[in-house]
Amino acid sequence: MALTRRFTLGMIAAPLALGLAACSSADADEAAIDAEPIAEIPAPEGTEWTDVVEVSEYDGYVIGNPDAPIKVIEYASLTCPACAAFSMDGAAQLKAEYVSTGRVSYELRNQIHGPHDLMLAQLVRCGADESFHPLSDQVWADLNGVLGPVFQNQDAFGQALQLPEAERFVAAAEVAGFYDFFAARGVSEDQARTCLADFQAMETIANNSNTQGQEFGVTGTPTFFVNGVKQDGVLNWAGLEPILQRAGAR
């Protein structure tokens, strides 16, 4: 717990612009993933694979066939413009054209780039598991609007983060205008306040970001893994789709 408390307090002192500048820019280094074409795997009768959501042991949210032969993991920050670009340009195609076939599952794991990012990561968890991906996509779709009040009110935001643990994120979200944003998307203000008062849950998110980042070498976002192989330099759908096809999703 002490590790995360230091991490959380450290984020308070860090420049808020970090959340906008922490995106990966490594050169592409495609992994050799080659497989024969994989046949579509039907979903259970009356269901669609894109409606199936499970929380993994890494606190990632997996959409699709849990036993899909091709597993895509994205480490993403909810404050990262490159992640927002992938959400807008690739995530819908990934789900509609690949996850829906049962060949591919898609897991989204949070990487935290500041206190505002940590708050958003907790808020997208406030509803049902099935709302995690849609809420994340909606944050990315209006990223400038979501983050604007944070940067416009940095002093008040920073002061809120000096409050006791159970109060700091509750107060900071009011400064940031997060309650109105999420209330318009089905997460009531009371529900959001309760989530943000749960300091232990937010410590867990922060700890996962730290430990998994170190364990798996995640140094920027978005970072993609396909069947456990890190796809260095792949930042967008144009880079990811050919890898899925080589892995058998064709």
Q: How confident is the model at residue 5 (pLDDT cuts 50, 70, 90)?
A: very low
The one-letter amino acid code at 209 reads S
Question: For residues 208 and 110, is the Cβ–Cβ distance under 8 A?
Answer: yes
Let me know how many helices (H) and strands (E) the chain has, helices first.
Answer: 13, 6
CA distance 116 to 96: 30
pLDDT digits (tens, 9 = 90+) for 46-83: 999 999 999 999 999 999 999 999 999 999 999 999 99
Q: What is the pTM of this model?
A: 0.88
Question: Topology of domain 2-246, per CATH?
Answer: Glutaredoxin (3.40.30)
The reported pLDDT for the residue numbered 204 is 97
Percent of residues in the chain assigned helix, strand, coil, to nearest 5: 55, 10, 35
Residues 74, 237: Cα–Cα separation, whole Å: 12
| Tokens, residue 166 | 């159970």
- Percentage, residues of the chain above pLDDT 70: 87
Q: Give the model's confidence band at 19: pLDDT under 50 very low, under 70 low, under 90 confident, else very high.
A: very low
d(CA 131, CA 137): 10
* Distance, CA of 56 to CA of 207 (rounded, Å): 16
Q: Each residue of 187-227: pLDDT tens digit?
A: 999 999 999 999 999 999 999 999 999 999 999 999 999 99
